[in-house]
């Protein structure tokens, strides 16, 4: 079996669902169920004996060690994290705790467990650490895309906490020989994406007749990857990645934020037209994110060349699938819009000075 951390979050639940759809190897899913974790994402697995959910904290090293002793996984896929840049600006403490201290305690527990293994089990054990392209900082318009050799220049507390965790993982391989794998991925999108992030926020706000907040001039560029493609990349790296290596994962889909928002409006205009006018009329430019990175772009040639992974989904097909999923899953959307979500919207958006899009 494998141990996944953060498997009730956006990427985590997609990963667990994809894993169990393609393999009968059991997943032990360790998740604290913070505001971002949602067991409803996994309700189709309720009767599946290959899914063992454990509520717990990755910072609790004793608890993690007990889990490892009890289940004896052949691999750990560590993706539990605080993941939202805007939240890291409002309150960095949780990011330091979960992303840095949490990764440290996962590494310590993994090192002790791995040291106790022998023979093939020791040889084949892997610790896969899921990270982000944000550790590399920001690019100018014509700069080449991030490679695995691009120096780290994290700009937000979130990115800095992920960079720190990447360094810890690297050091555990270098110093102790722990068989680690690190992936640095670009922006994911798809089903079960919590509506604090751009794409689901815009879909949910559009349907509710609310404004669609675009930070600054909307010309920041992100490289978008459909979440199932990321899950396939993780399976590939876990199976065939070389211990100690890092792999960049991306979709070759660079878009400005304004383009993304306009695309979402156009799809909604077609699939669920407003009584009058276009959803584009709801676009509102708001005060920029402090320290906002201008452009991310991933050079994913290493994983393609060495491991044969390539994304299947184009941005056009993936974004349409995503919008359709949100239209078909109104119940899920309602359920995640709890009081805590409304408090967050108030904190992040009410204070921003707004000016209408012309
Ligand atoms: P998410 O915020 O949707 O989910 C995070 C999950 O971790 C939640 O289920 C939460 O309950 C759990 N969690 C948080 N703190 C925990 C703790 N202390 N102990 C146990 N569980 C805890 O995040 P996501 O978008 O699915 O991202 C998953 C991973 O991928 C993160 O490491 C993130 O940095 C990385 N990543 C995300 C993206 C993206 O576009 N979303 C891109 C690249 C990398
Ligand atoms: O690049 C990978 C990263 O992508 C992951 O490591 C993070 O976990 C993930 O959250 C994501 O970070 P971003 O900050 O790029 O994602 P977000 O969806 O928050 O924002 C995408 C872009 O849209 C960004 O340039 C900010 C902008 N934005 C975002 C929101 C929420 C807006 O213009 N308006 C908004 O309301």
Nearest CA residue ID for atom 35, ligand 1? 131
Supply the pLDDT for residue 358.
Answer: 36
Identify the residue whose tokens are 């309150």.
91
The rounded distance, in Å, linking the Cα atoms of 329 and 199 is 15
Q: What is the pLDDT of residues 23-71, one digit of tens each?
A: 999 999 999 999 999 999 999 999 999 999 999 999 999 999 999 999 9
64 domain-assigned: yes
Residues annotated as part of the active site: 133-134, 158
For the cut 50, the answer to whether the pLDDT of residue 117 exceeds it is yes
Q: What is the mean pLDDT of the chain?
A: 96
Q: How far is CA 327 from the centre of its chain?
A: 22
Contact indicator for 168, 135 with CB cutoff of 8 Å? no
Min mean pLDDT across 12-26, 98-112, 253-267, 342-356 is at 342-356
104 domain-assigned: yes
- Range of 21's domain? 2-191+225-252+296-313
Q: What is the pLDDT of residues 309-356, one digit of tens each?
A: 999 999 999 999 999 999 999 999 999 998 899 899 999 998 775 544
181 domain-assigned: yes
29 domain-assigned: yes
| Closest listed residue to residue 139, CA positions, set 10, 250, 233, 261 | 250
d(CA 250, ligand 1 centre) in Å: 17
208 domain-assigned: no
Q: How many domains does the chain have?
A: 1
111 domain-assigned: yes
For the cut 60, the answer to whether the pLDDT of residue 306 exceeds it is yes
d(CA 220, ligand 2 centre) in Å: 10
Supply the pLDDT for residue 353.
Answer: 56
330 domain-assigned: no
73 domain-assigned: yes
Contact indicator for 29, 12 with CB cutoff of 8 Å? yes
d(CA 277, ligand 1 centre) in Å: 37
12 lines ligand 1 (CB under 6 A): yes
Percent of the chain with pLDDT over 70: 98
- Looking up residue 234, the CATH number of its domain turns out to be 3.40.50.720
């Amino acid at each position: 079996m494998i141990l996944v951390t953060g498997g009730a979050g956006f990427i985590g639940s997609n990963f667990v669902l994809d894993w169990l759809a393609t393999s009968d190897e059991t997943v032990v899913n360790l998740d604290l169920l913070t505001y971002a974790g949602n067991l409803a994402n996994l309700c189709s697995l309720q009767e599946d004996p290959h899914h063992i959910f454990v509520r717990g904290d990755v910072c609790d090293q004793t608890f993690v060690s007990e889990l490892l002793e009890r289940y004896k996984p052949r691999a750990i896929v560590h993706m539990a994290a605080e993941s939202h840049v805007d939240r890291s600006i409002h309150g960095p403490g949780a990011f330091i705790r979960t992303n840095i201290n949490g990764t440290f305690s996962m590494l310590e527990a993994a090192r002790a467990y791995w040291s106790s293994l022998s023979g093939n089990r020791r040889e084949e054990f892997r610790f896969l650490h899921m990270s982000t392209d944000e550790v590399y900082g920001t690019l100018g318009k014509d700069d080449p895309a991030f490679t695995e050799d691009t120096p780290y220049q994290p700009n937000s507390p979130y990115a800095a906490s992920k960079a720190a965790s990447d360094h810890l993982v690297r050091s555990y391989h270098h110093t102790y020989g722990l068989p680690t794998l690190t992936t640095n991925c670009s922006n994911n999108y798809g089903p079960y994406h919590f509506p604090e992030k751009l794409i689901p926020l815009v879909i949910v706000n559009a349907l509710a007749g609310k404004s669609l907040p675009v930070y600054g001039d909307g010309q920041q560029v992100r490289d978008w990857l459909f979440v199932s493609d990321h899950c396939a990349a993780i399976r590939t790296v876990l199976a065939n990645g070389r211990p100690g290596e890092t792999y960049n994962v991306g979709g070759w889909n660079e878009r400005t934020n304004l383009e993304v928002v306009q695309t979402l409006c156009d799809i909604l205009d077609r699939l669920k037209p407003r009584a009058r006018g276009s959803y584009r009329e709801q676009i509102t430019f708001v005060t920029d994110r402090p320290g906002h990175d201008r452009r991310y772009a991933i050079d994913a040639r290493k994983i393609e060349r060495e491991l044969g992974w390539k994304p299947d989904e184009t941005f056009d097909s993936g974004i349409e699938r995503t919008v359709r999923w949100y239209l078909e899953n109104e119940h899920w959307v309602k359920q995640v819009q709890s009081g805590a979500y409304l408090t967050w919207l108030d904190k992040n958006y009410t204070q921003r000075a707004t000016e209408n899009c012309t």
